[in-house]
Amino acid sequence: MIAWRAFMAGIPGALVSAVALAQSLSGPESIEYHARLDRTLISNIYNGDIQVRNAAGTLGLFTAAPTAPYGIELLAGTLYVVDSGHVKGYDIDSAAPVMDLPLSGAGFLNGITSNGVDTLYVSDFSAHSIYSIDVSDPGLPVQSAPVSTGTETPNGLAYDGRGNRLLIATWGGNAKVLGLDLSPGATPATLIETTLDNLDGIALDCHGALIVSAWSGCTSGGCLRRFNPPFQLNTPAVAIVDDLSSPADIDYDWVSAEIAVPESGSDSVSFHASGCEPALFASDFER
């Protein structure tokens, strides 16, 4: 059964005017759950901000510092943001800037994930490549040479710790999910061939199943689809939900076992049951 959470209409008037301006989403692109404070963070392309939504559904402003934020990723107390050719970092509690790395040779940077320890991975949609960035010290980040995805256009990214690989959602008709082994010298290979079009977000659930958001090629509108392991080229897609409006970069919330979806076409977010059980204690390495 689909679990929906409606947004509350307003923000208390006692809040400062900057927060009041952040009441509505505009081009929500990426969403991340922050378990310690039970809240979600949402990047907004057109507002040029990161908003925060609390458990009651109230929206507030985390930071208006970015210009056009796309993917966001929480790692070791820092919220990393893909923003106009840069990867920026903000302290998760104070929103103070801690990193601003312009990626050399970048085209259109889009998705981001991490290995949960010290490395970020960023997709370059237009240059068909994947960057890795060592953020052991966010004040001194180190960019590695990008890895090409060939003719495939990379979008959303997810890290598969069990396989020490990166999972890559691709854009286009009959879109593919690629796997990139993270050992030196490896190149991406097709993991799953889908009948979906324009994959955007990608995540792994509690069973190691792969969940993607697709803009089209669904039963109706945009959708979420699950692919259960072990993965093969023709692994069938299992329907989770249809009629989504341009679903972008998703997140799987281990605590609620819901999939959080920014719907960029309707300036909203929605939450959907994954089929997993909620976790009382969840891995919180990235928060």
For residues 179 and 186, what is the distance between their CA atoms, to the nearest angstrom?
A: 10
Is residue 114 within 8 Å of residue 138, measured between CB atoms? no
Pairing mode of beta strands 142-143, 129-134: antiparallel
Q: How far apart are CA 93 and CA 28, in angstroms?
A: 21
Q: How confident is the model at residue 278 (pLDDT cuts 50, 70, 90)?
A: confident
- Tens digits of residue pLDDT in 247-271: 999 999 988 999 999 999 999 999 9
Checking if the pLDDT of 212 tops 60, the result is yes
pLDDT at 279: 75
At 287 the pLDDT is 52
In this predicted structure, what is the pLDDT of residue 283? 54
Residue 22 pLDDT:
39
pLDDT bin (cut points 50, 70, 90) of residue 282 is low
- What is residue 159's predicted lDDT score, i.e. its pLDDT? 97
- pLDDT digits 0-9 by tens, 75-127: 999 999 999 999 999 999 999 999 999 998 899 999 999 999 999 999 999 99
Give percent above pLDDT 70 in the chain. Answer: 89
The CB-based long-range contact list for 173-182 (8 Å cut-off, 24+ gap) reads 173/197, 173/198, 173/217, 174/217, 175/199, 175/214, 175/217, 176/152, 177/202, 177/210, 177/212, 177/227, 177/231, 178/149, 178/152, 178/154, 179/231, 180/130, 180/147, 182/115
Task: Give the pLDDT confidence score for residue 15 in this predicted structure.
Answer: 34
Residue 181, pLDDT score = 96
pLDDT tens track for 225-239:
999 999 999 999 999
Q: pLDDT value at position 104?
A: 87
Tokens of 86: 């840069």
pLDDT band at 281 (very low <50, low <70, confident <90, very high): low
Q: What's the pLDDT score for residue 4?
A: 30
What is the set of domains in the chain, with CATH numbers?
A: 68-273 (2.120.10.30)
Res. 13 pLDDT band, cuts 50 70 90 = very low
Residue 85 CA, distance from chain mean position: 17
